Amino acid sequence: MQQDTKVTVDQKTSNNNPITILRFSGDISSASQDAILGTFNRLSASEQARLMLDFTKVDYINSSGIALVIQLLMQASKAGGTVSLFGLTPHFQKVFTMVGITKYAQIHADEPAASAI
């Protein structure tokens, strides 16, 4: 049974730069559009400038979910923002690399590594 996608927004500062963290939980699929893109679109331009996406509590991502993540990354890139991802399983690190997500975001092992950029 699919778990609903939940997104919480956290703020932090690294090297005196504000960072917005979108923390995902549940499964990511086509049903996640409002949760993922809706949350991103409600962020101010300054909150979109430097993003981190936390996949630590995501159990499953299907191809439609990957497409949503790519859409978010393309919107962030178009707005001039930078994005780092962390918390992906080794399998999804490989999948995200294969589908070209690394053109739009850097993948890191954990939050401290993602924050260090």
Answer yes or no: is pLDDT of 113 > 90. yes
pLDDT for residue 17: 86
Average pLDDT over residues 67-94: 95
pLDDT for residue 19: 95
Residue 1: pLDDT band with limits 50, 70, 90: low
Residue ranges of the domains in the chain?
A: 6-115
Answer yes or no: is pLDDT of 81 > 70. yes
Q: What is d(CA 103, CA 82) in angstroms, rounded to the nearest whole number?
A: 11
**CATH T-level topology, domain 6-115:** Transcription Regulator spoIIAA (3.30.750)
Answer yes or no: is pLDDT of 117 > 80. no
